[in-house]
Amino acid sequence: MQSLVIEGGTRLRGSLRVNGSKNAALPIMAAALLADGPSLIHDIPDLQDIRSQIELLEKLGVHISRREDGSRTFEVKSETDSHAPYDIVRKMRASICVLGPLLAKRGKVRVSMPGGCAIGDRPVDIHLKGLRALGAKIHLDAGDIIAEAKKLHGTEIFLGGNFGSTVLGTANVMSAATLAHGVTTIESAACEPEVVDLAEYLIAMGAKITGHGTPRIRIEGVTSLHGAEHRIIPDRIEAGTFMVAAAISNGELRLENVRIDHLLAAVEKLREVGVDVEKADRSVIVSSARVLEPTTITTQPHPGFPTDLQAQFMTLLAIAAGNSIVTEKIFPDRFLHVAELSRLGARLHREGSTVIIEGQKRLVGAPVMASDLRASAALVLAGLAARGRTTVNRVYHIDRGYENIEQRLNSVGANIRRVEQAELD
Ligand code: EPU
């Protein structure tokens, strides 16, 4: 197992390119299962979760090749295997997004039911409700979801749940409805940019979709879809993480390939605490004078503040001059970083789904344990700001969502080494 050893206190300065979005790429790759003919997809990041998705799609009969410029082609060569087994799904919950495409295209699918993960129970009941509404017969067998339908039929579907809309649930139902007979209207659809990107890819494949990016998506079914060329949107969560890196290190970063319109809630909060964010073409310049004001943050579905940036912003607020409040409304238990940040001297008090943060002058380096992807990113950020050495253990979590994180941060002045755990013992 590997760890990151961070010598804190250096200022980050320079320029970084933000990669294509992991969470846009995963359902888009799954949607390639719907096409007759090849698709060419640009800017898929090179990450562990993407490699898991490739492994799954190859098992499902998709031929995938990588071009010199990093783009990838996807072409379905065989439709005989429609089983997403536990071994792959347990590594990556997002493999659930093959459910809708396989059902619509092949009429029968078996996908292992994803379990909970470090950030919560994460049920998929709303995905199944939506697919049932389209006419699928669904049952559970030996931990697998089995869904069948000779032909799906368009209908009106309400996809809201107790925690708002569902991103991958919307992706599954929207993808399936593209090949249904008639018109489907999804109400309370997720409005996240990743859902919009998927819709754009599906439209390029010949799907008839309107309303994506709003809570009401209308899909008029077509009889077939063809392959298409598509470029994945920039990763707004990676961009937000690097923005916090600039702010927390009292530095200045120019971030290339950023869609600031996807990040308005986060940018608003950065400005509120005293961080400068300047827009320039498709890039932003983020700089900080380090005297940070406290604030309140509540995570919400898009366009509200994203849950995937909650841990990173909590880290920033840990060194603000005053008390802040962070409330998590999407995954009420997504607080594994709290105990680890406390080891670095952060003063955090959790009450249910709210954390009160007593800002401290400084954090002090210590060994900490990564628990999930975004919590790990938060610990790396904390390590950048902390005095002395921070060792983030179990760093494989961060590799699921950030490509070469230490090399990229080192290129703008960080001091991070990747070591084998054994070297530390
Ligand atoms: N929910 C249900 N039933 C369902 C589906 C969701 O109750 O059938 C609940 C969830 O438990 C949660 C809320 O609805 O409380 C929203 O969950 P959502 O379905 O939107 O999450 P997701 O689609 O499984 C994606 C991202 C997550 C991100 C969330 C929220 C991907 C691959 N994952 O998950 O990203 O946190 O949306 O924005 O797109 C990450 O990248 O670190 C990550 C966890």
Check residue 260 and give its pLDDT: 95
CA atoms in the 13 A half-sphere facing the CB of 57: 30
- pLDDT tens-digit readout, 43-59: 999 999 999 999 999 99
Place of tokens 């804190």: 8
- Looking at the fold, whether 61 and 187 belong to one and the same domain comes out as yes
Query: How many A from CA of 168 to the centre of ligand 1?
Result: 7
Q: Which of 33-37, 130-134, 140-144, 308-312 is the least confident region?
A: 140-144
- Looking at the fold, whether 170 and 55 belong to one and the same domain comes out as yes
- Looking at the fold, whether 224 and 304 belong to one and the same domain comes out as no
Q: Which of 68-72, 312-316, 406-410 is the least confident region?
A: 68-72
pLDDT above 90: residue 238 = yes
Work out the average pLDDT over 342-358: 98
CA separation for the pair 261, 341 (Å, rounded): 30
Work out the average pLDDT over 274-285: 92
For residue 181, what pLDDT band results from cuts at 50, 70 and 90? very high
| Last residue within a domain, chosen from 169, 197, 231 | 231
Q: Which atom of ligand 1 is nearest to the CA of 26?
A: 32
Q: Which atom of ligand 1 is nearest to the CA of 171?
A: 23
Structure tokens belonging to residue 396 = 């494989």
Check residue 118 and give its pLDDT: 76
- Looking at the fold, whether 14 and 52 belong to one and the same domain comes out as no
For residue 370, what pLDDT band results from cuts at 50, 70 and 90? confident
Q: Which atom of ligand 1 is nearest to the CA of 117?
A: 44
| Last residue within a domain, chosen from 197, 231, 265 | 231
User: What are phi and psi for residue 216, nearest 5 degrees?
Assistant: -125, 110
Mean pLDDT of all residues in the chain? Answer: 96
What's the total number of domains in the chain? Answer: 2
Check residue 423 and give its pLDDT: 65
pLDDT above 70: residue 357 = yes
- Looking at the fold, whether 56 and 99 belong to one and the same domain comes out as yes
- Looking at the fold, whether 15 and 27 belong to one and the same domain comes out as no
pTM of the predicted model, to two decimals? 0.97
Check residue 425 and give its pLDDT: 58
Q: Is 123 in the pocket of ligand 1 (CB under 6 A)?
A: yes
- Domain region containing 353: 2-19+234-424
Q: Is 332 in the pocket of ligand 1 (CB under 6 A)?
A: no
Query: How many A from CA of 137 to the centre of ligand 1?
Result: 24
User: What are phi and psi for residue 301, nearest 5 degrees?
Assistant: -60, 160
CA separation for the pair 1, 17 (Å, rounded): 28
- Looking at the fold, whether 238 and 220 belong to one and the same domain comes out as no
425 Cβ contact partners less than 8 Å away, ≥ 6 residues apart: none
- Looking at the fold, whether 159 and 241 belong to one and the same domain comes out as no
- Looking at the fold, whether 163 and 214 belong to one and the same domain comes out as yes
Contact at 8 Å (CB) between 186 and 166?
no
- Looking at the fold, whether 129 and 251 belong to one and the same domain comes out as no
- Looking at the fold, whether 116 and 254 belong to one and the same domain comes out as no
Query: How many A from CA of 120 to the centre of ligand 1?
Result: 10
pLDDT above 80: residue 115 = no
- Looking at the fold, whether 45 and 108 belong to one and the same domain comes out as yes
Work out the average pLDDT over 258-287: 95
Structure tokens belonging to residue 361 = 């002058």
226 Cβ contact partners less than 8 Å away, ≥ 6 residues apart: 35, 36, 37, 205, 206
Best mutation site among 113, 168, 236 for ligand 1, i.e. most ligand atoms within 8 A of its Cβ? 168
Closest protein CA for atom 28 of ligand 1: 308
Closest protein CA for atom 35 of ligand 1: 308
| Last residue within a domain, chosen from 196, 231, 266 | 231
Work out the average pLDDT over 343-359: 98
For residue 1, what pLDDT band results from cuts at 50, 70 and 90? confident
Supply the DSSP string of 387-408, one letter for each residue. Answer: BSEEEEE-THHHHTTSTTHHHH
Q: Is 167 in the pocket of ligand 1 (CB under 6 A)?
A: yes
- pLDDT tens-digit readout, 197-223: 999 999 999 999 999 999 999 999 999
Query: How many A from CA of 304 to the centre of ligand 1?
Result: 14
Contact at 8 Å (CB) between 189 and 177?
no
Where helices occur in 122-181 by DSSP H, the ranges are: 125-133, 167-177
Query: How many A from CA of 419 to the centre of ligand 1?
Result: 32
The amino acid occupying position 103 is: L
pLDDT above 70: residue 337 = yes
CATH number at residue 348: 3.65.10.10
Please calculate the CA angle 124-48-189 and round it to the nearest 5 degrees.
30
Active site residues: 117
Check residue 371 and give its pLDDT: 87
Closest protein CA for atom 4 of ligand 1: 124
Q: Is 330 in the pocket of ligand 1 (CB under 6 A)?
A: yes
Q: What is the three-class DSSP state of 312?
A: helix
- Any bridge partners for residue 420, and if so which? 2
Where helices occur in 191-286 by DSSP H, the ranges are: 193-204, 236-248, 264-273
Q: What is the three-class DSSP state of 315?
A: helix
* Percentage above 90 pLDDT, the chain: 92
| 250 vs 122, more confident | 250
